[in-house]
Structure 1
Amino acid sequence: MLLIRSIIYFFLAVILASTVVLGLWLDVCWLQDKLGEVSVTEILQESILAVIVFIHFKLVKDSAHMRECHLLIGGFFLAMLIRELDGLFDLISHGSWVWFALSTSVAIIAYTARNYRQALDDLARYPLMPYYGMMISGLLCILVFSRLFGMHLLWETVLREQYVRVVKNMVEEGAESFGYVLCLTSSIGYYFYQRKAEHNSYNERPTE
């Protein structure tokens, strides 16, 4: 049974990774898009972030353990989602996404601060949990690797007069999308791990 679940989990990860590449292909080859604010790739990234936020907020609601940790993680990805939706928030006011992300983050941090000892304990335990490594790898890919690898200076130096911005955008957005896939795969795996652990714990309770 464990082997079957592992195989299913692997193929789910393959499908997710293939989907973001398909999004890039549709943007560049079919839609002739330059990977701007409105593109298949951007929509996929926003959808992945929304699912990650939903998973962690659902764990806050359904799980008896690590609630503060999941609330903080969900809030972090919610701020990232708001950042990705900056074009939508620009309809309200240019750069207004900053205030929405900031207010959301402050509200969640203030809420968890009421039980800060438990929150700190949960955060200390989280690196010991399965799928943590995949989550960190995804965040490094999103926040560090894709940004550094997508620097204009790097691509202009390498390609010189053959520099085409869409190539740089495709590589940068592709790396970022892969990072989102890693974070989503980690969140899905952890959700089922947590639910199974709590189910087993409930069944092992001594009967009176």
Structure 2
Amino acid sequence: MRIKNEINELDFTYKPIHTTETRYQPQTRLPNMTPKRLNPIAGAALRFVFYILCLGTMVLLVTWEAKRHTGDILFNENSILESLQATLLFLTAASAYLAGHLNDSDSPLASLLVGVASIAAIREFDFALDRYVFDGAWQAMALIVAAFTFIHAWHHRTALKEAVLSFIGRPSFGVMAAGGITVLVFSRLLGRQVLWQAVMHEGYMRSVKNAVEESCELLGYSLIFFGTLEFLYEAILARKNARHTAPNKAPQAPKKDKASPYLRKNSGLHF
């Protein structure tokens, strides 16, 4: 009887349950196309267009010179093509120096790039230096720059090793390496006299061989310059990231103890 009475006392009437929870409604998520996501794409596109314009301008200048001059004087030491090569090397050295100034971790590597580019630029002016300064002037200047570069690299060899290990994993390394291989290997192999004598037979022209060899060198120096610009761009991004990650708030001074001298003296607590 007791159990029956307890069952009768239970309230089985329906009462709606009010809750603040809402049912899950699947929503279609649109891709994140905010300006922050578009900035890297726009920057890459601008650099790509700039590189195309640089290459196109240099080809137009070389074509203009080829139409003005003919014979053995074409693509000689005083040609526009040689001047373009020297200009690219100086711009490479300047870009590397600026990258090292912006990013301290890349400074040893940047100094090494400046030294190598300076030596190559001196080599491009070997004819003028030997003629207007003294015979062997370019070798002396190149040795001086090489000595300073080696001493600086040896003095910062630990930091240089870390910078190189970080550099070989970046996109700029691939572009620079491609340029170096083009200058040191491909242009030398393609500019061999034996190859072009076999191609042209009795109609062999030295100016054609020089045009191909020097144009390959110009392409290689262009790739090295473009890789240095990418190296500079990476230094700018690293500097911006360092600024964003730095603490924005100054460290707060420790709070002063507001306890009275009487409490300090008579209290059992240690303030």
The normalised TM-score by structure 2 is 0.73
Which has more helix, going by share of residues? 1
Match of 1:145 in 2: 186
Structure 2: give runs of 5+ residues left out of the alignment.
Answer: 1-38, 250-271
Which protein shows a greater Rg?
2
Residue in 1 that maps onto 2:88: 48
Match in the other structure for 1:16:
54
Counterparts of residues 193-204 of structure 1 (less than 5 Å) = 193-204=234-245
**Partner-residue secondary structure (3-state), 2:171:** coil
Per-residue CA deviation, residues 168-206 of structure 1 (Å, 9 max, x unaligned), is 111111111111111111111221221112212211123
2:170 maps to what in 1? 129
How big is each residue's C-alpha offset from its partner over 1:109-150, in whole Å with a ceiling of 9 and x where there is no partner? 102211211112222222112211111000111111001100
Q: Which residue of 2 aligns with 1:159?
A: 200
1:106 aligned onto 2:147: yes
Distance (Å, rounded) in 1 between the aligned partners of 2:241 and 2:104: 13
Rounded to whole Å, the distance in 2 between the matches of 1:195 and 1:45 is: 26
How many residue pairs align between the two structures? 208
Question: What is the rounded CA distance, in whole Å, between the counterparts of 2:154 and 2:135 in structure 1?
Answer: 31
The answer for unaligned runs of 5 or more in structure 1 is none
Deviates more, 1:15-24 or 1:51-60: 15-24
8 Å CA contact retained: 1:20, 1:174: no
Determine if contact 1:45/1:180 at 8 Å carries over to the other structure: yes
The structure with higher relative contact order (CA 8 Å, sep 6+) is 1
3-state DSSP of counterpart to 1:94: coil
The reply to whether residue 5 of structure 1 matches residue 43 of structure 2 is yes
Residue aligning to 2:117? 77
1:65 partner SS: helix
Deviation of 1:63 (Å): 2.2
